[in-house]
């Protein structure tokens, strides 16, 4: 008799954004002709940069020529992209990363979910709350989360990030093994200072813990004092894995490319108490279970590091951050408490009059035909908040703010 992984049955029936999509579809089905503006899911709307299109076209031509055709590529990524990553994302910030510490993937979501393959089941997990759902769901699937009790998981330590503590996660008062940090933060759009990040690195080093650092939105940082990589903190290469994505940086949500850094200095312990290099374990895992990112996508990613690419990507990021500013100002004029939106393309908004996240979501959908994301979907501390994304078109962002301000 074949058996399933029972942990999957512990999950909610659908992923947060699928639940939102189902609600929106049901509303559209019952309100024919409703013009819905979605500022919920963080999908980009601007086209790929011209330099990226040129690189992809060139790569496609290469694939059509027997002399330049590429078959199976290296599962860890082509050296031309890994070299561009090392030189531009790290060496430029005085961080030394070796080529074989760079693992090219199809986006940060995959690796943040799959990294658990190389980790033991007895690790205690720590997450900031609210948090990107993949971190928790993947650990539920892997059997590390324990049982759900009153909306939280028994083997997960939640570190609340709310307006009351200025969205600054506090070091846990108990031992934890695996720590998930995402900065700039999804969903709150807030950032972490160098001083606060140093505290987490110190904790991890002292407790032989590992920090999973999701830096998918680092390109949106405007404040020069905020670190773009955890490896800017001394000692972090001994305690942290870092995840990056071109999805939001370069609009690659439909292209698929990202990368993960697993330093060779980073170790964990096997059942015999012996130190094991995680870089080697991850390389072995990827060699078996990952086909590699397409040559065309990697050439596209490489183009973002050219002088022209950097300028074009910078312009795209400015477009979205201008959206965030417009939305932030409009929502504040309505008397709402608004956080984020200054170093990230997300705005975290306190619901009015203490209404629940889902109720406010329903009100905006019904009264303004605007879709946001209920904060409680990101964790218990998200109750009473909603998230807006600045990734919409300028016209839709302005129209959505007008509708919200004039809703009945």
Among residues 273, 306, 339, the one where a domain terminates is: 306
Please indicate, yes or no, if residue 188 is contained in any of the structural domains: yes
Give, for 374, the enclosing helix (H) or strand (E): strand 373-374
User: What is the rounded CA–CA span in Å between residue 100 and residue 261?
Assistant: 9
Asked if 372 and 388 touch (Cβ cutoff 8 Å), the reply is: yes
Give, for 156, the enclosing helix (H) or strand (E): strand 156-160
Asked if 141 and 121 touch (Cβ cutoff 8 Å), the reply is: no
Asked if 130 and 379 touch (Cβ cutoff 8 Å), the reply is: yes
Do 193 and 217 fall within a single domain?
Answer: yes
Give the angle 208-214-215 at the CA atoms, nearest 5°.
Answer: 125
Lateral strand order in the sheet of 156-160: 102-105, 258-261, 240-245, 210-214, 178-182, 125-129, 156-160
Please indicate, yes or no, if residue 38 is contained in any of the structural domains: yes
Please indicate, yes or no, if residue 187 is contained in any of the structural domains: yes
Residue-wise burial string across 90-102, b where 16 or more C-beta atoms lie within 10 A, e elsewhere: beeeebebeeebb
Q: What is the CATH number of the domain that holds 31?
A: 3.90.1150.10
Q: Is the pTM of this model over 0.85?
A: yes
Please indicate, yes or no, if residue 3 is contained in any of the structural domains: no
Do 153 and 278 fall within a single domain?
Answer: yes
Do 349 and 258 fall within a single domain?
Answer: no
Please indicate, yes or no, if residue 1 is contained in any of the structural domains: no
Do 72 and 107 fall within a single domain?
Answer: yes
User: What is the rounded CA–CA span in Å between residue 141 and residue 121?
Assistant: 11
Do 13 and 80 fall within a single domain?
Answer: no
Q: What is the CATH number of the domain that holds 264?
A: 3.40.640.10
Which pLDDT belongs to residue 361? Answer: 97
What are the angstrom distances between the C-alpha of 72 and each of 76, 77, 200, 399? 11, 11, 40, 46
Do 333 and 270 fall within a single domain?
Answer: no
User: What is the rounded CA–CA span in Å between residue 84 and residue 219?
Assistant: 16
* Structural domain harbouring 122: 54-306
Do 83 and 197 fall within a single domain?
Answer: yes
Which pLDDT belongs to residue 322? Answer: 98
DSSP string, 298-351: HHHHHHTTSHHHHHHHHHHHHHHHHHHHHHHHHHHHTT--EEE-SSSSEEEEEP
Among residues 306, 322, 343, the one where a domain terminates is: 306
Which pLDDT belongs to residue 369? Answer: 97
pLDDT digits (tens, 9 = 90+) for 342-362: 999 999 999 998 899 999 999
Please indicate, yes or no, if residue 118 is contained in any of the structural domains: yes
Which pLDDT belongs to residue 114? Answer: 97
* Parts of the chain with a pLDDT under 70: 408
Do 135 and 235 fall within a single domain?
Answer: yes
Give the angle 131-127-243 at the CA atoms, nearest 5°.
Answer: 75
Do 291 and 356 fall within a single domain?
Answer: no
- Helices (H), ranges, 118-224: 133-142, 194-207
């Amino acid at each position: 008799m074949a058996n399933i992984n029972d942990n999957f049955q512990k999950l909610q029936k659908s992923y947060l954004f699928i639940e939102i999509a189902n609600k929106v579809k049901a509303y559209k089905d019952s309100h024919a002709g409703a013009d819905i503006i979605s500022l919920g899911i963080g999908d980009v709307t601007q086209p790929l940069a011209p330099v990226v299109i040129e690189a992809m076209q060139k790569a496609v031509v290469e694939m059509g020529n027997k002399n330049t055709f590429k078959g199976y590529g290296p599962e860890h990524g082509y050296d031309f992209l890994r070299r561009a990553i090392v030189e531009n994302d790290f060496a430029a910030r005085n961080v030394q990363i070796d080529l074989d510490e760079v693992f090219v993937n199809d986006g940060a979501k995959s690796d943040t979910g799959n990294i658990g393959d190389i980790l033991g089941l007895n690790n205690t997990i720590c997450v900031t709350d609210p948090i990107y759902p993949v971190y928790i769901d993947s650990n539920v699937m892997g059997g590390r989360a324990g049982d759900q009790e009153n909306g939280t998981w028994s083997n997960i330590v939640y570190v609340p990030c709310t307006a009351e503590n200025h969205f600054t996660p506090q070091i846990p008062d108990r031992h934890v093994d695996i720590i998930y940090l995402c900065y700039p933060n999804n969903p709150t759009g807030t950032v972490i200072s160098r001083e606060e990040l140093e505290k987490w690195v110190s904790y991890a080093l002292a407790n032989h813990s590992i920090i999973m650092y999701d830096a998918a939105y680092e390109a949106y940082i405007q404040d020069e004092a905020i670190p773009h990589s955890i490896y800017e903190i001394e000692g972090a290469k001994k305690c942290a894995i870092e995840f990056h994505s071109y999805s939001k940086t370069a609009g690659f949500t439909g292209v698929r490319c990202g990368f993960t850094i697993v330093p060779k200095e980073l170790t964990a312990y096997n059942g015999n108490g012996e130190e094991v290099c995680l870089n080697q374990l991850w390389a072995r895992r990827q060699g078996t279970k990952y086909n590699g990112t397409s040559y065309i996508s990697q050439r596209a990613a490489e183009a973002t590091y050219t002088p022209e690419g950097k300028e074009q990507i910078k312009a795209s990021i400015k477009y979205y951050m201008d959206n965030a500013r417009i939305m932030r100002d409009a929502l504040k004029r309505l008397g709402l408490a608004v956080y984020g939106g200054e170093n990230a393309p997300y705005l975290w908004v306190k619901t009015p009059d203490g209404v629940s996240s889902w109720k406010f979501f329903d009100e905006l959908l019904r009264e303004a035909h605007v879709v946001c994301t209920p904060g409680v979907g990101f964790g218990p501390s998200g109750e009473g908040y909603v998230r807006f994304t600045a990734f919409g078109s300028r016209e839709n962002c302005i129209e959505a703010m007008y509708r919200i301000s004039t809703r009945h």
